[in-house]
Structure 1
Amino acid sequence: MPRLSGRRKDSASAQPEMSPLQIYIYLSLILGICAYTASGFFPVLTTLASLCILLYFIKNTGKQAVVLILLFIFGFYYGALKHDPSPNLQETKPPRETRFSGTIAGMPIKTEYGYLEPFSLSTPPLKGDVFINLPKPFGPGTFIEGNARVTLKAGHLNPGMHSGNTSLFLTPLGAVALSRNNSPGFIPDRLRWMLYSRFNEAFSGETAGFLSALIIGHRQYSDRLYRDYARLGLAHLMSISGTHFGLFTILVFSFIRFSARALPYRWLIRLTGRISIDELATLLTLPLIVFYLLLSGVRIPALRSFIMINIFLLGLLIGRKGQWLYSILFALTVILLMDPSSAFTPSFQLSFAAVLSIGLTLEFAEKRLPLNRAGPFTGTLVKILLVTIGASAGTMPLVLYYFHRFPALGIVTNMVFTPLICFLILPAGIIGSLFYLLTGVFPLGGLFALLISKINHVVSFISSLEMISFTLPAFSAAVLMLIYATAGCMIMRKRKASLICFSVLAFSVIYTLPAYLAPGPRVVFLDVGQGDAA
């Protein structure tokens, strides 16, 4: 018989689920790394939380708590060693005008004055986020030198902001000298530049912006289109995230697996003599996922999503279903060891919440729903819907916390548009992009333009309806943690802990709600950079 799964029958029950001690080992290191970063913003709360964690380890593990405490301390000091404070460009006091040289290091952003592009400075030797204003866009790897006017913009210091670095902007004065840097490091960005140019030549503005966001992870769509998607809870589709990598991986893996099963029996026997169909599908899926990562520019958010979703799915799809939590904790540890500060970025938290929710949803479905009795097509369709519902529900508290908007039809619209975009437009766009890079022809361009324009039109129409989205007042991080703590206790069936967490959460909401509803004067602090406002 051909081997369909990555596990043999005699070893199917030989894979025990993770023991509590194994989970505690990962959590102690992860929490230690996070504690250092959190202590810079919430020192008292972080200290109290750390003491509670250590006491919990001592109570539940006994003598083994010594190892967990040491791992927690190691994680804390590792975070301190990896801490790299952003260079303060204001302290260097660059001149208002200077001679400069450097290389364009990213994709252009269209502004009302021209194009803004990330820039890697060679001279003067300043470190930080540097951008150059140009009248027309140039591809990554273009070397530029000349004279420029220098402008500084201070960054934000709040946790969760997009950038805390001070940015330096260069505006060339007069003519500049151009040449091309042929370093291999610019190959991924050059591929993205080729697709960016093709999208803008062949498609209209909103269609080109949509494809650029979906395929190469470059945001150039209009604010109106983004606002329409956000009102329906679909804003995550406008930037490459764990949802894109996860659903694209599931689609490619399932298609290869289904195609292999359709082979003649003799071919199937020869093919699975040394390798199972699941293992073969995994090996054939990885090159396409890596190609998609290269198209995304290998930016940190996309790389985090790639690592997390693929380590998780690799263990899930090749037969280690009993240890999916091990896979996600391992991925989480790897990401934090690479960049400890990423734990407090929205993209990291949304990716982690989505993957964890997907795992819990699929585990619940396997235990409670008769998916094994359903046919291959029906079972796959049900799993796709469950993945969509699980990811939407798991990330909803974070979406409310960061964006302060509740989409009334968020789960419904995600069930309709997320599979449509991630299972139809995304794979067709990636395959079409690969075909274009190899042949210079983008197939089915007219069909792409028609389909995307219809989707955008439907999204805009639904978004224009009344009562489709509600603006919520900002709430504290403590409320967010209470929401997830209550959900976690309910999942683990801890009745007393669930009751306590829910009671504290309800009291917090009831106590603070009158402050938001009461009419009266309010103080608004304007965000005007580093100036003062009242």
Structure 2
Amino acid sequence: MRLFFSGVYLENRIIDPVYGELSINLHIEPASIVYGSARYTEWGSQRKLTEVRIKGNHPTILNRIFNYRDMLDNKIDESIGGDIGKICSAIILGKRGDLPPYIYKRFQYCGAAHLLAVSGLHTGIVFMIILIFLMVIQIKRKPALIISGLLVSLYALLTGLRLPVLRASIMLWFFIIGEVKERNIDPLNTLSASGILILIFMPSSIHSISFQLSFIAVFSILIILKVFESRLSQISNNWLKKWIIIPMFVTLSAQLGTFPLVAYYFGYIPLFGLIANLILIPLVGTLIAGTFLLWTIPILQDSIGSFVWGTGYLMNKIMIILERLPYSVIEVRERDPRILFSYLFLVIILIGIMMFRKKGTVIPITVPS
């Protein structure tokens, strides 16, 4: 089938308002508006263009942002280099094109492939780094929130404006507006609103794996934390609750929510995903903070580069250990609908049990005499 496309070219893909993300490699400047026609092959959510005929392309102001991104990537390569440098570029800038396949597979089998896709986790870390810095230099909270939001939006553009980071940016702005206006914002409402906004402008995004994984992960986190909210409030040790229990719940919730889709689309279930993420996520935060220092303090480039390299090296070693453990991953048949139906069946049972417990319903059991 041949289609006519028109959209923005962003690193091996075109974002078309009608067809969503279309995979393609073009020798034009990123962030340019491009239009033309092509044949495409579609399987599930994967859409790849072939026999492309470009009828025109026009540069935009976003070209400068991507040029700046290349400059930052070069600094990572100069200071860190090798596989660790490529891991840093993938995690922080979303540049996965140069990442060796065995590294990506290692992240997958540890249940940490999401760390290589700039998403809500990365956006939140960057937001907190900027906000803390602004508060340290005595900028008031409300202006600091707005400035941080603007810089995070720039970061979203810098990383290619993929669906997970777009979702996170929209939710972040709802949060900022609520904080500035001193109103409570319901996270589930902001999640729904961000999904609706994305689907209004890119309806076909609903078929995207990244869209599905991103929204289901956040939805699972919000729902499971809500269910256990009363139990968590009973924990008296605030440090334990804030730094151990809640991160564990968040990680477990995201894993439980996304593992059926991961199994369905990619054909594997990482059994040590919870352990891997509990260890790797703090290291990712350290990696991002260190890389920002690397970019902003050139005089300490060598020292900071060594520190960032050491953090990335530690991440890689931990994944190698987990990857080599027996039964670290279970391989299943890709796109087997029984996976989704089985998971849905379990969810319905759990919801039923929770409803009975909440209402205090007693199910009578008759014991024959």
1:239 aligned to which of 117, 121, 125:
117
Q: How many residues align?
A: 338
1:57-72 correspondence to structure 2 within 5 Å:
none
**1:416 and 2:333 equivalent?**
no
Map 1:11-410 to 2 at 5 A: 86-87=3-4, 131-132=25-26, 155-161=40-46, 163-166=47-50, 168=52, 183-219=60-96, 220-249=98-127, 255=132, 279=142, 282-307=145-170, 309-310=171-172, 313-314=175-176, 323-370=186-233, 373-375=236-238, 379-410=242-273
The CA deviation at 1:356 is 0.9
Q: Aligned partners of 1:141, 1:249: CA distance in 2, in Å?
A: 24
Q: 1:360 to 1:211 in 2, by over 3 A?
A: same
Aligned partners of 1:371 and 1:379 also within 8 Å: no
Distance 1:475 1:228, change over 3 A: same
Question: TM-score if structure 2 supplies the norm length?
Answer: 0.75
2:324: which partner in 1? 464
TM-score of the superposition, structure 1-length normalised? 0.54
Q: For structure 2, which runs of at least 5 residues remain unmatched after alignment?
A: 15-21, 358-369
Alignment of 1:493-508 (within 5 A): 493-494=354-355
1:441-460 equivalence runs, <5 A: 444-460=304-320
Deviations 1:167-215 (A, max 9, x none): 5499xxxxxxxxxx98523011111111222223333321121111111
Question: Greater CA deviation, 475-484 or 239-248?
Answer: 475-484
Unaligned runs of 5+ in 1: 1-84, 89-103, 108-116, 120-127, 143-151, 171-180, 272-276, 497-534
| One-letter amino acid of the counterpart of residue 210, structure 1 | I
* Displaced runs of 4 or more, over 6 A: 315-319
SS across alignment from 2:186: helix
Q: 1:410 to 1:141 in 2, by over 3 A?
A: closer
Q: SS of 2:269's equivalent?
A: strand
Q: How far apart, in 2, do the equivalents of 1:132 and 1:323 lie?
A: 42
Of residues 340, 343, 347, the one that matches 1:480 is 340
Rg larger for: 1
Confirm or deny: 8 A CA contact 1:354 1:395 kept in the other structure: yes
Find the aligned partners of 1:322 and 1:140 in 2 and give their Cα distance. Answer: 36
Task: Considering Cα pairs closer than 8 Å and 6+ residues apart, tell me whether 1 or 2 has the greater RCO.
Answer: 2
- The secondary structure found in structure 1 opposite 2:40 is coil
> Contact 2:232 / 2:241 at 8 angstroms: preserved in 1?
no
- How far apart are residue 86 of structure 1 and its match? 3.5
Q: Which residue of 1 aligns with 2:18?
A: none
What's 2:364 paired with? none
Q: For the residues of structure 1 that align with 2:302 and 2:202, how far apart are their CA atoms?
A: 37
Q: What is the CA distance between 1:294 and its match in structure 2?
A: 2.8
RMSD: 4.1
CA distance in 1 between partners of 2:313 and 2:282 (Å): 17
DSSP-derived class of the 1:131 partner: coil
Structure 2: how far apart are the matches of 1:233 and 1:373? 31
How far does the alpha carbon of each residue in 1:280-302 deviate from its partner, in whole angstroms, 9 at most, with x for none? 66335314422321320224453
Q: Are the aligned partners of 2:29 and 2:63 in contact in 1 as well (CA < 8 Å)?
A: no
Deviations 1:469-525 (A, max 9, x none): 1111235446525624642663473459xxxxxxxxxxxxxxxxxxxxxxxxxxxxx
* Aligned partner letter, 1:188: I
**1:81-125 superposed Cα distances (whole Å, 9 cap, x missing partner):** xxxx8439xxxxxxxxxxxxxxx9655xxxxxxxxx779xxxxxx
